[in-house]
Structure formats: C-alpha cells, structure tokens
Amino acid sequence: MPVRLIESLATTEALDEVFADVSVLEAMLAFEVALARAEAQAGVVPAEAAIAIAAAAKVEAFDIAELARQTLRGGTPGIPLSKALTERVKASEPAAAGFVHWGATSQDVADTALVLLLKKSKGILETDLARLETALLKLSEAHARTVMLGRTLSQPAPPVTFGLKAAGWLGAVRRSREDLEQSFSAALIVQFGGASGTLASLGDRGVEVARALAAELTLDLPEAPWHTQRDRLARLVCACGVLCGSLGKMARDVTLLMQGEVAEVAEPGGKGRGGSSTMPHKRNPVGCTVTLAAAQRVPGLISTFLGAMWQEQERGVGGWQSEWPVVAHVIQSTGLALASMAEVAEGLTVDATRMRANIDATRGLIFAERAMMLLGANIGRDRAHQLLEEATRRSIAEGKRLAETLISMPEVTNHLDAGTIKGLEVPEAYLGSAETFRRNLTEDCTGKEKD
C-alpha cells in the first residue's frame, strides 16, 4: 500500500506499513490471542476458549473504519475491539465469548500493541543504521588524506580532511545507535496490569499469566505494570530525537558543501531525483532536504510526549491517548531520515580537486594561525597576532598571497626565513592530529587497534 500523499515526505513505505491500520489491528488482536493462550496455560480460562478466540481474531473479519469511529466514542481502541472480538467468538463458540479480554484493561491492549509495532520498527531502523555506518566508514577511509577547508562560523579556517568530517558524522551515528539499542531494549516490554495495575481479577495467577503472555508475544516482562510510568517510551523517543539531530547536522553539512559556489560534494542523482520543475540545471539535495525536515519536526513531537508524561494516579486522562500518533510520527521521521542519509552517504560524490581549489582560493590566509604560532615562539603571541592581522589586511587589499606579504615584512623575515614562510601554505603539513582523531572515531567500526 503506498504512503498517503500528505505523508510522502514524512515516512518510508516500510514504516508506513508498520503503523498502517491493518498492522495496528494485527497487533491488538495478537495481544488478545496471546492473553487467552497464556490464561489457558495457567488454567484461568478453558483451553477451548483460547482456541476459539484465536480462530475469531482474523484481521479481515473486522471493520477497521467502524473500529476507528467507536474508538473516538470510547476514548480507547480496546473497548470497541474487545466488543467486536466477543461478537465474533460468540457467533461460533458462545461459551468461549465470555473469556475474551479476561482480566485485562483497554490500556493493556493499546500499550502492548504499540510495543509490538515498535518491535517491528526496530529491525527497519537497524538495517538503515547499518547501511549508513558502513557507507560513512568507507567515505572516511577513502578520504583520510583528502584535505579541505575547515569552516568555522561559516568562514574559511585551517584545513581538515574530509575523512575526519565523515568520521565525525559516523561517531555521532554510532553513539546514537548504542542509545537506541538500549532504549528499545527497555521499551519492548509487555503491558498487563488489569483495572488498576494489580491484576487482582486473576487472584494469585496474575504474575503467572503475565509471564506466559510476555513469552507468547516474545516480549520482556517488566517488574510491574507501567500504566502511568512512561519513562521507557520517553527515553526511546528522545533517543530518536538525538539521532535525528545528528542526521540533520550531517544533512546540513552536505547541503552547504553542495552549494554551487562550494561544489565539494554532491548527492547521488538519477531520474526523478533532485531535479527542478522549472530549472533544468538543478541537482537539489533531496535526501538532505527530507532529513532536515524530519530533524525539524521531531523535537516538537518529543516535547508533546514529554509534556504528557505526568499522567495522574493509576491511569491518566488524555496522556497516553496522545501517544500513539506521536510515537508513530517520531519513529517514521527517524526512519525516513536514516534511510535518506544512508542513500546520500552510499552515493555521495566527493570532489577532492575542488576541495584543494577552494583552499588555494584563500591565497594562504587560512594559514595565518600557523604563521602566528611560528612567529610567536620568537616574539610572543600578542605581537605575532598583531603582525598577522596586519599581513592579512594587506594581502586582502593588495590581492596577494599571505606568504608574499609576510616575506615583504622585515619584522617577520628577521625570525622566519623565506623557505619556512613559503612552506606555510602546504595544507597536509598543518593537519595536527586529524588522522589520529579520525581513527579514534572509526576504530570501533573496523575493529582495528590504535597504534
């Protein structure tokens, strides 16, 4: 099923399917079936009832539109679902109908269904995370010695390597992956507490049924029901927000490097990708665009989730009802950003010649710091700084290279010879610990030891 047009820039097809109506209904029915089976194992309901409930819980037998209408009237999807399932069971096995939703409450259905959807999402996100990490590692290694302008406050600065820049992106992605793994691990738990979180209706069988229910759904069992304790889900959506922010940073860097005046990298192109409806020459940063859109959208969604965390007593009013669409949009936006940047990284064109040309275009001014440090060792940093400020102003005014200007200044040549001054403008000689830092950021991915 294709993504709705209005959401075509907000999700991927795979994640749209995860949160589609059919998938949501499947998850809720999976809870009801697993509950019946768990209770049959514990001797709480007859085995025949569990069989009848499973037979009746077929997605195609339910009117999803009507369930949605009744959910609005009931304030929760669990009420119309249990009623509709009870009617389905009653039609074939009347004696079993009374055991539908036995001992559960509506929030048990809603929360566990959401967790099951998150479980599906986890694998999709992991696949694209792996793609992105692999692509960024390849870029970093291939361009370990590709020099380019550093840019601070959007102005030219001493050189860096593109390999280090890619490694910086990679490090942030890898750290987010670790946080995301931990957050998913904490969130993929069953919700089963009954009316007020004590499972009192099941007598002394509550924990036994809960354990069997978790096993049926292949979810972890928390230490207690978590009706109004939303910290695990909050941790997950916040981890998605941090990842989206890091992906947005990468996307912003790439878009700036793609500007015509810079032209150091380019997103992959192809038929229908990155064009303009009116300007045939355009190659727009499409992947970066949708990623930045996601990075802008997600913080507001997270704020909404966090603002609904203070859910009162044993079941809140309006708090958890707000979560389904919020969590779905956060996961979908994160997945879209991940898939988009994986595609960008896998097909990114890097123009090392242009990077070198942009360095040369500064006429050596970006090496003023290097000259200042060398000169400062002889005359002190403050005086050296003053001389280099004067030299850079003269270079700009006269259209000369910095080295030419420095050679014409006796106070400089009294301490630095012409050969040293001319050698200032070799970018490879002023990279400091760039390669060490690059390797530090990538070593966990390669498995290599530090030297």
Query: Which domains does the chain show, CATH number per domain?
Result: 5-356 (1.20.200.10), 362-433 (1.10.40.30)
Any long-range contacts for 262-266 (C-beta under 8 Å, 24+ apart)?
Answer: 262/354, 262/358, 263/351, 263/354, 264/148, 264/162, 264/350, 264/351, 264/354, 264/355, 264/358, 265/348, 265/349, 265/350, 265/351, 266/348, 266/349, 266/351
Q: Looking up tokens 């096993």, which residue turns up?
A: 215
Cα 90 to Cα 340: distance, rounded to the nearest angstrom? 48
Q: Which two tokens stand for residue 127?
A: 């696949």
Q: Is the pTM of this model over 0.75?
A: yes
Q: Are 336 and 11 in contact (CB under 8 A)?
A: yes
How many other β-carbons are positioned within 10 Å of the β-carbon of residue 159?
Answer: 24
Which one-letter DSSP state was computed for residue 231? H
DSSP state of 220: B
| One-letter-per-residue 3-state SS of 133-194 | HHHHHHHHHHCCCCEEEEEECCEEEEEEEHHHHHHHHHHHHHHHHHHHHHHHHHHCECCCCC
Q: Is the dihedral of CA 243, 245, 250, 255 positive or negative?
A: positive
Phi, psi of 63 (to 5 degrees): -90, 100
Provide the Cα torsion 211, 15, 236, 286; round to 10°.
170
Please tell me the distance from the alpha carbon of residue 195 to that of residue 37, in angstroms, as a whole number: 20
Calpha distance 25→6 (Å, rounded): 22
pLDDT in tens, the chain (451 residues): 678 888 888 999 999 999 999 999 999 999 999 999 999 999 999 999 999 999 999 999 999 999 999 999 988 999 999 999 999 999 999 999 999 999 999 999 999 999 999 999 999 999 999 999 999 999 999 999 999 999 999 999 999 999 999 999 999 999 999 999 999 999 999 999 999 999 999 999 999 999 999 999 999 999 999 999 999 999 999 999 999 999 999 999 999 999 999 999 999 976 655 554 454 455 789 999 999 999 999 999 999 999 999 999 988 898 888 999 999 999 999 999 999 999 999 999 999 999 999 999 999 999 999 999 999 999 999 999 999 999 999 999 999 999 999 999 999 999 999 999 999 999 999 999 999 999 999 986 544 544 4
Q: What is the CB neighbour count within 10 angstroms for residue 373? A: 14
Task: Check if the beta carbon of residue 285 is closer than 8 Å to that of residue 258.
Answer: yes
* Cβ neighbours, 10 Å, residue 412: 22
| Residue 449 region by backbone torsions, left for phi larger than 0, else alpha for psi between -120 and 50, else beta | beta
pLDDT for 444: 67
Tell me the catalytic residues. 276, 315
SS3 sequence of 420-448 = HHHHHHCHHHHCCCHHHHHHHHHHHHHCC
SS (H, E, C) 4-62: CHHHCCCCCHHHHHHCCHHHHHHHHHHHHHHHHHHHHHCCCCCHHHHHHHHHHCCHHHC
> Tokens 């795979």 sit at which residue?
14
> Is residue 349 helix, strand or coil?
strand
